[in-house]
Structure 1
Amino acid sequence: MAGKDYLHDVQECEKKPLWQRIGWLLVIWTGSVATLAVFAWLIRLFMTAAGMKTH
């Protein structure tokens, strides 16, 4: 039954230390923000190359 497996996974996850769970949250958040920054920089680079400038 899938419900039992899910409950077991949640209980196993809760056994990990809080600092480790928060650490993973920070790693994932930092990675997503960095990816967004690179993507925005690339868009700006291509727009500048196409002749679109803000001034």
Structure 2
Amino acid sequence: MARRIEDAGDEADVRPLWQRLAWLVGFWIAGVASLGLVAWLLKMAMRGAGLST
């Protein structure tokens, strides 16, 4: 049976603070790493096209 909106805030469903912070930090690190990878790939593509300084 589907949960009602009023039941969404039950304290029994809330994960511990350390676990929520770990997910937040994990997603932040993954985001920064993916942006770094895209920047590096663009740099390599520009260098390959002869646009290096």
Fold similarity call, TM over 0.5: yes
Runs (5+) with no aligned partner, structure 1:
none
- Give the aligned length: 49
Runs (5+) with no aligned partner, structure 2:
none
- Who is 1:17 aligned against? 16
Taking a change above 3 Å as real, the CA distance of residues 51 and 12 of structure 1, as seen in their structure-2 partners, is: farther
Q: Is residue 5 from structure 1 mapped to residue 5 from structure 2 by the alignment?
A: yes
Counterpart of 1:26 in structure 2: which amino acid? V
CA root-mean-square deviation: 2.2
Counterpart of 2:40 in structure 1: which amino acid? W
Q: Is residue 42 from structure 1 mapped to residue 48 from structure 2 by the alignment?
A: no
- Deviant stretches of 4+, over 3 Å: none
Give 1:52 shift.
0.6
Counterpart of 2:34 in structure 1: which amino acid? T
- For residues 36 and 49 of structure 1, what CA distance do their matches in structure 2 show? 20
Give 1:6 shift.
7.2
Give 1:7 shift.
5.9
Once the two structures are aligned, what percentage of the paired residues are identical? 37
